[in-house]
Amino acid sequence: MIKSSGDLETMRQPIHLLPSPSPVRFVDPEGRPAPLEEHGDYEAPPLALAKQAYRQMVLGRRFDEEATALTRQGRLAVYPSSRGQEACQVGGVLALRPEDWLFPTYRDTMAVITRGVDAVQALGLLRGDWHCGYDPMTTRVAPQCTPLATHAPHAAGLAYGARRRGKDTVAMVFIGDGGTSEGDFHEALNFAAVFAAPVVFVVQNNRYAISVPLARQSAAPALAYKGVGYGVRSEQVDGNDAIAVLAVLADAVAHARSGHGPVLVEAHTYRIEAHTNADDAGRYRDASEVDAWLRRDPVARLEAYLRGADSLTDAEIDDARREAEDFAVRTRERMAAEPVCEPSELFEHVFASPTRQLHTERDRLLGERG
């Protein structure tokens, strides 16, 4: 890690921009402390934060399971699971302050609820009752974005705008490995760099874009190597190691907040489930690959680590699980109610005030029989 000090000119030297040669790690796959040289000079997060992350990850995992179950009951139109990516989903959000902004994708519902958005509202899009079920302005969570990478320039613009207003807001944007191939990812990194916008780009490299494996997506040594070409400081981290994610993202957010410009962080992780409930992952990958990654499970790993450090009791674990269960049950119950959706809203929110044509059309379409 390059500490966020020194003048901007120096910090734009390649050596200050390139990522660590291998992913930063604090905890090995078995939950044991990783050797110091893998820490990349980062500081471990405070224990309290690590424990908070654990609780949220347990909750997030349970929520994710429940959401997948809801698709089977027809309560959700579709659900892209982030099982296996809990450390990224939770670690990312915990690095933010309330006044910061999160720009998630369709995959990041777990992050959205971690941020405090009501679960049922967060599931609005996937339930099909409105495009964005929560209020972005009050939650400071942008709508979950579907067109890949298109939200990245928004994050850059918002971050720059906030800085222009004298705020010290940071914008964190989640992108998939596939999303990095889109032109908008490139343009967003470049704008953020040129305008020194406080954006943290978090690439959750879960090794698949639906069925397309990483090797077909990029020939880069690692996606984090994209940063240097924009003058953007970059890092790669073991995305299944919550401690490492917290450490690296705390540093990245601090770097951005202090006016040193954007940071690109690649979190190496894995999508355990199929792309969505509607996908059939058996068509393009072996179960053995999934099994190997299951053994690097981020929740179990953090649990083992905290236990090993005598920082997590059985009672705390039980408690976390109970809380998660309650949350899941409450979510399921609330999702059982039929969504209420006022068709007239369709015409209300096209413009601040509907045009004459919209009035007419509304009356015609909603007034008609049937």
Partner 1 sequence: MAVSMVQALNAAMRDAMAADESVLVFGEDVGALGGVFRVTDGLTRDFGEDRCFDTPLAESGIVGFALGMAMEGFRPVVEMQFDAFAYPAFEQIASHVAKMRNRTRGSVTVPMVIRIPYGGGIGGVEHHSDSSESHYTHIPGLKVVTPATVADAYSLLREAIDDPDPVVFMEPKKLYWSKAEVTLPVRTERFGQAALRRQGTDLTLLAYGPTVPVALEAAEAAGEAGLDVEVLDLRSLVPLDDETIAASVRRTGRCVVVAEATSYAGAAAEIAARVQQECFYSLDAPVLRVTGAGIPYPPPILEDHYLPGVDRILDAIAQLEWDEPVRL
Q: Which of these is catalytic: 271, 296, 301, 305?
A: 271
134-153 positions binding a second copy, by CB under 8 A? none
Q: Of the candidates 107, 127, 163, 233, which one interacts with ligand TPP according to CB under 6 A?
A: 107
Q: Of the candidates 64, 66, 100, 177, which one interacts with ligand TPP according to CB under 6 A?
A: 177
227 contributes a contact to a second copy by CB under 8 A: yes
Considering the complex, what minimum distance in angstroms separates the CB of residue 217 from partner 1?
Answer: 5
Considering the complex, what minimum distance in angstroms separates the CB of residue 211 from ligand TPP?
Answer: 9
Q: Of the candidates 81, 180, 206, 236, which one interacts with Mg ion according to CB under 5 A?
A: 206
Q: CA 202 to CA 223: how far, in whole Å?
A: 11
178 contributes a contact to ligand TPP by CB under 6 A: yes
227: helix, strand or coil: helix
5 contributes a contact to ligand TPP by CB under 6 A: no
77 contributes a contact to ligand TPP by CB under 6 A: no
271 contributes a contact to ligand TPP by CB under 6 A: yes
Cα-based distances in Å from 116 to 112, 113, 146, 367: 7, 5, 21, 39
- Pairing type for strands 263-268 and 199-205 reads parallel
Residue type, 80: P
284 is catalytic: yes
Q: CA 302 to CA 88: how far, in whole Å?
A: 12
343: helix, strand or coil: coil
Residues 152 and 184 sit within 8 Å (Cβ to Cβ): yes
**Residue in 114, 60, 50 with CA at minimum distance from that of residue 84:** 60
271 is catalytic: yes
**Which is nearer to a second copy, 230 or 305 (by Cβ)?**
230
Q: Which of these is catalytic: 275, 296, 301, 305?
A: 275
**DSSP class of residue 259?**
I
Q: In whole angstroms, what separates CA 2 from the centre of its chain?
A: 24
Binding-site size, a second copy (CB under 8 A):
34
Q: CA 355 to CA 348: how far, in whole Å?
A: 10
180-209 positions binding ligand TPP, by CB under 6 A? 206, 208-209
Q: Of the candidates 184, 325, 348, 361, which one interacts with a second copy according to CB under 8 A?
A: 184
**Which is nearer to partner 1, 174 or 191 (by Cβ)?**
191
Cα-based distances in Å from 84 to 50, 109, 174, 272: 17, 13, 15, 5
202: helix, strand or coil: strand
74 φ, ψ (degrees, to nearest 5) = 75, 15
Structure-token match 């039980």, residue found: 318
Longest Cα–Cα distance in the chain: 71
**DSSP class of residue 338?**
P
Instruction: Please choose which of ligand TPP, Mg ion, partner 1, none residue 132 contacts, taking the beta carbon within 5 to 8 angstroms, the exact cut-off set by kind.
Output: partner 1
Instruction: Please choose which of partner 1, Mg ion, a second copy, none residue 206 contacts, taking the beta carbon within 5 to 8 angstroms, the exact cut-off set by kind.
Output: Mg ion
**Which is nearer to Mg ion, 109 or 206 (by Cβ)?**
206
216 contributes a contact to ligand TPP by CB under 6 A: no
Instruction: Please choose which of a second copy, ligand TPP, partner 1, none residue 271 contacts, taking the beta carbon within 5 to 8 angstroms, the exact cut-off set by kind.
Output: ligand TPP
**Which is nearer to a second copy, 125 or 200 (by Cβ)?**
200
**Residue in 256, 286, 289, 251 with CA at minimum distance from that of residue 270:** 289
**Which is nearer to ligand TPP, 40 or 80 (by Cβ)?**
80
Instruction: Please choose which of Mg ion, a second copy, ligand TPP, none residue 183 contacts, taking the beta carbon within 5 to 8 angstroms, the exact cut-off set by kind.
Output: a second copy
**Residue in 30, 247, 229, 262 with CA at minimum distance from that of residue 237:** 247
Q: Of the candidates 33, 161, 229, 354, which one interacts with a second copy according to CB under 8 A?
A: 229
Which positions lie near ligand TPP, rule CB under 6 A? 107, 146-148, 176-179, 206, 208-210, 271, 275
> What are the residue numbers of the active site?
271, 275, 284
